[in-house]
Amino acid sequence: MQGVSDSTNVLNCNAERQIQLAKLLKPYGIEIEHVADNQTISGSFFGEREAGLIRNKLLLRHDTPVHSALHEACHYICMDPQRRAKLDTDAEGDYDEENGVCYLQILLADILPNVGRERMMIDMDRWGYTFRLGSAKAWFEHDADDARQWLQSHHIIDIEQLPTWHCRQ
């Protein structure tokens, strides 16, 4: 779902945001692993600045976009335990899970200080995520019932669209 359009104007995972992400993702068992600037990010499916994911380790540089960090973390949260146990770079997953991942990353962005859902959706559009209705906001507000229901059916969010702080079982 990603390609680069206006990638220079997105929020990145500076040191403070990496600490915030570590606190946010701790209940899921996800650990942040910092990668030095200009070093290759192991476990990155898309390469370049994109977050890496190896088992429960989320690998981030200071120039890794926050949307990428949340997207990969949400893949970990949304995948079944068998895939999670052998996870290395490629989260795999199907169409429904991918939609759930995008929806959850927007919800979790609301909990991150100085990020929020509005900025997350703007950054997703700037990076080149594609949605049938043309923008992340239009999709989230008018076309994501299936994603919300998928997350609820796997007990990842509750009926009020709040995280349960549990990974998919």
Model confidence pLDDT, tens digit, residues 15-46: 999 999 999 999 999 999 999 998 999 999 88
pLDDT at 103 over 70: yes
Which of the four pLDDT bands, split at 50, 70 and 90, describes residue 5?
very low
Percentage of residues of the chain with pLDDT beyond 90? 87
pLDDT at 2 over 80: no
Residue pair 49/65 in contact (Cβ under 8 Å)? The answer is: yes
Distance of CA 136 to CAs 54, 125, 132, 165, Å? 27, 6, 9, 23
End-to-end CA distance of the chain: 25
Q: What is the pLDDT, as a whole number, of residue 128?
A: 87
Q: What is the pLDDT, as a whole number, of residue 3?
A: 41
pLDDT at 47 over 90: no
pTM above 0.85, yes or no: yes
Residue pair 100/78 in contact (Cβ under 8 Å)? The answer is: yes
Q: Is the Cα torsion angle 141, 163, 64, 112 positive or negative in sign? A: positive
